[in-house]
Amino acid sequence: MLTFPDSVQIYEVGPRDGLQNEPAPVPTDVKVEFVNRLTAAGLPYIEVSSFVHPRWIPQLADAEDVLTRISRAEGVRYAALVPNQRGLERAREVELADVAVFVSSSETHNQKNLNRSIDESLENIADVMAGLPDGAWTRGYVSMVFGCPYEGEIPVGDVIRVATRLLELGVDQISLGDTVGYGSPRDVRDRMADIATAVPLDKVALHFHDTRGTALANIVAGLDAGVRIYDGAVGGLGGCPYAPGASGNVATEDLVQMLHAMGIETGVDLDALVDAAAFIETHLKKQLPGRYLRAVRGACEV
């Protein structure tokens, strides 16, 4: 028999992980309003942007402006990805206390994405962590946890090595990513059983992409395995430019609707979440893949 919790936390990554691959520039005003609508939905964590060099991700070149202009709510973490020392300097300029760092569990993907080895990335993260102000809170992303388009199956020991090293460096939370949507519910059950022997599950989030339509099923398996934090991107925004075949993240509104139907509390206002998804869909001028959004809003009018 499956075991489910009474409540979980939902972490929203749409403004960063979702928008970073959009080819058409999204105006800063739209991003600010998007984040404000997500705040109104009651999400406890919103990943607003990234301090990667604008040459690599032009869409997020306005990170400072967005983070300065959003309306912040008490109790909400507003974070940005900090890839290196220059990114850390930019984060400190806007007094950002909550940051995210990134590394892959696949050596090949890490080289293609970051142009360095996993060990070099971990050394870089150590430097970033050393430069954070007192009281900073850090999330560490580990990608390709359930398989890699370049290397195939990733040994679970590789995932554990990277995750435990991040914790040793002082990262507060680990988000384990199914970056290309390879995982199945059985994979989730088996991998989380192994990972739980080395990494406390109260420090773990799961980050599923819905490439093969299994994200919600995988989340159910994650719930049964004891994980209580899940990432989503409204509308199903997102993908990975360095992972062939990767489509968007699980749609946050699909996830919240499913959890509420299961009697699991999230603290998120589903109607407000749908409004935020519809808002960004209108400005992107394309239909987003979120199923619940389509169910309540119908076809996208663009």
Rounded CA gap, 213 and 210, in Å? Answer: 5
Give the residue carrying structure tokens 């102000």.
133
Strands (E), 70-201: 77-81, 98-104, 137-143, 173-178
Rounded CA gap, 189 and 77, in Å? Answer: 29
CA dihedral of residues 11, 12, 16, 21 (deg, nearest 10): 120
Backbone angles phi, psi at 226, to 5 degrees: 110, 5
Rounded CA gap, 195 and 158, in Å? Answer: 10
Q: Quick check: is 240 catalytic?
A: yes
Catalytic residue among 240, 246, 270, 293: 240
**Beta-bridge mates of residue 149:** none
Positions annotated as catalytic residues are 240
